Amino acid sequence: MKKVVVIGAGIGGLASAIRLAAKNHQVTVIEQESQPGGKMSEIRAGDFRFDTGPSLLTLPHLVEELFELLGEKAEDYLSIQRLEESCRYFYPEGKRIRAWTSPERFSDELESKLGEPKENTLRYLKKAKRLYHFTADLFIFSSLHRLKTFRNRKTFGTLMRPGLLDPFRSLHQANRRAFQTREAQQIFDRYATYNGSDPFRAPATLKIISHLEHNTGAFFPSGGMYKIASELHQLAMRHGITFQFNTRVESLTTANGKVTGVEAGNQHIPADIVISDIDIHHFKRQFLNQQVQRKERPELSSSALIFFWGMDTQSDETGLHNIFFSSNYMEEFRMLFSQAAISDDPTIYLYISSKMETADAPSGKENWFVMVNAPADSGQNWDNLIERTRRHIISKLEAQLNMEIEKHILVEKRLTPRDIERRTSSEAGALYGSSSNNIFSAFMRHPNFSKQLKGLYFTGGSVHPGGGIPLCLASAKIVSDMIPKE
Ligand code: FAD
């Protein structure tokens, strides 16, 4: 039985701990905060509860698999519901679309409301499905840094089909060819933001994300997204994994090119294996004493500016997930990634978990999670940006929903890129580690193991295969596949 220390109880850390316990190793998770989840967290304000990180769940079987590995059933603890409608889209000139998860119904909606021929949507989603099945094993569930992966015939076949991978044009260029209407293009461009990227630069390979939402489905767990982190924590505890909260790991201990443990809370904790779930750039600076210059770092994903509003009213026109598009999407992303700024007409994402989970807000009221994409922190004048963006959000929502917003806000909390970095040690507050704004992004993410120190592994959103709940869960699987069973 090997002694394993996991640094950080984010989703990647929790999943790695569970997978290693299932391989009969003795696992300790050390977390600097007082609760598990990392970015997948929650807050309370007055009588309202808010998820503060992820809000959309795809590929829930990756969560369920963790229960099965320890001989339990996820359904005994988590009730995960498949959504019929994944999002409501609001356009500046007044058009509205309901994005049904069923491809049939969604393509009918786009045809009847936008005039987008039904076959365009169906063809696109079919291609996205094919792309997912062709690439997932290689790009999501395998290490790209082990020769073994490339000896496989299927992998070779995947790399030899660049036409199918479609890496040489941007997602937007592909969508402009696939759809006649600007509105449909904008819906499908938006999937680049699911890993914090720019649709005008990220490769068209990212169209696989639309497959996850419209073919395999979008899901919501009763109790809200944080329930996933808290139930994984409980599962881990039931199976003997120990947790030390409010404890910051300060350094690694090593001998003869191998990790021997960590220093945390004035204690030495011996370990044969250390798995880091923390941002790789922070890890390199703090634990390996390597200076990571901004120029050397792959371009970071976007961050977010979020207002949590406890509203004293309910809105009929909104659903669980809502997007209020900007009128100039290209300009919005140019500002975000080239000028590290927020447009005065930002696309707004509104998530209201109390539409599904009534306990999240008192009766007749709603919990609004109002988010705009923000640049990773590079020393901007945030006080100024926050107040200006808040004004723009309110006037846009007022115009779209035909209601006064400010007077209905009972309580407010905020989350900025700086807060995200302070709470989770995520580099500059980036939500998804590095962006996919480059055709080589998939190959540029850090490997899931250390080339310098034996026994050191990396999981979570800043390493291969990238950010977002499903990919963090996949990174835990890749790490666990590298460590033999006891
Ligand atoms: P993290 O969540 O980054 O956790 C790392 C943990 O390590 C933290 O708990 C931190 O406290 C701890 N730590 C750091 N340093 C130390 C140390 N020295 N000692 C001990 N502990 C330490 N994904 C989706 O799939 N769908 C979404 O809808 C979605 N929306 C998002 C919205 C927001 C606002 C945010 C912030 C993220 C969103 N994401 C979404 C992304 C997703 O949340 C992340 O990719 C994922 O949660 C990252 O998990 P992780 O394993 O990398 O660890």
pLDDT in tens, 162-195: 777 888 899 999 999 999 999 999 999 999 999 9
Distance 156 CA to ligand 1 centre (A): 33
Distance 112 CA to ligand 1 centre (A): 39
End-to-end Cα spacing for the chain? 6
ipTM over 0.95: yes
Average pLDDT over the chain reads 94
Locate the ligand 1 atom nearest the alpha carbon of residue 433 and give its number: 45
Q: What is the phi/psi pair of residue 319, to 5°?
A: -120, -160
Distance 325 CA to ligand 1 centre (A): 26
Determine whether the shortest distance from the Cβ of 103 to ligand 1 is under 6 A.
no
Determine whether the shortest distance from the Cβ of 310 to ligand 1 is under 6 A.
no
How far is Cα 90 from Cα 288, in angstroms, rounded to an integer? 47
Q: Is the N-terminal amide bond of 465 cis, ω within 30° of 0? A: yes
Q: What percent of the chain has pLDDT over 70?
A: 97
How far is Cα 445 from Cα 434, in angstroms, rounded to an integer? 7
Q: Are strands 42-45 and 273-276 parallel, antiparallel or unpaired?
A: unpaired
Determine whether the shortest distance from the Cβ of 32 to ligand 1 is under 6 A.
yes
Determine whether the shortest distance from the Cβ of 433 to ligand 1 is under 6 A.
no
Q: Which CATH number fits domain 3-41+57-75+222-298+437-482: 1.20.1440.230, 3.50.50.60, 3.30.70.270, 3.40.50.300?
A: 3.50.50.60
Nearest CA to ligand 1 atom 42: 468
Mean pLDDT across 419-429: 95
Nearest CA to ligand 1 atom 9: 38
pLDDT of residue 261: 98
Mean pLDDT across 308-331: 97
Distance 11 CA to ligand 1 centre (A): 7
Domain limits, the chain: 3-41+57-75+222-298+437-482, 121-217
pLDDT of residue 442: 77
Determine whether the shortest distance from the Cβ of 419 to ligand 1 is under 6 A.
no
Q: Which residues of 269-281 are buried (b: 16+ CB within 10 A; e: fewer)?
A: bebbbbbbbbbbb
Determine whether the shortest distance from the Cβ of 350 to ligand 1 is under 6 A.
no
**Res 44 pLDDT > 90:** yes
- Compute, in degrees rounded to 10, the torsion defined by CA atoms 93, 96, 101, 102: -110
pLDDT of residue 443: 79
Q: Give Cα 412 to chain centroid, integer Å.
A: 24
Locate the ligand 1 atom nearest the alpha carbon of residue 282 and give its number: 15
Determine whether the shortest distance from the Cβ of 213 to ligand 1 is under 6 A.
no
pLDDT of residue 170: 96
pLDDT 10s digits, 194-241: 999 999 999 999 999 999 999 999 999 999 999 999 999 999 999 999
- Pocket of ligand 1, candidates 278, 284, 350: which has the most ligand atoms within 8 Å of its Cβ, to mutate? 278
pLDDT 10s digits, 429-485: 999 999 999 888 877 889 999 999 999 999 999 999 999 999 999 999 999 999 987
Element (H, E) at 390: helix 382-401
Locate the ligand 1 atom nearest the alpha carbon of residue 36 and give its number: 9
Element (H, E) at 15: helix 11-22
pLDDT of residue 142: 83
Distance 37 CA to ligand 1 centre (A): 7
**Res 327 pLDDT > 90:** yes
How far is Cα 355 from Cα 42, in angstroms, rounded to an integer? 17
pLDDT 10s digits, 82-93: 999 999 999 999
pLDDT of residue 257: 95
Please indicate, yes or no, whether the overall pTM of this predicted structure exceeds 0.90: yes
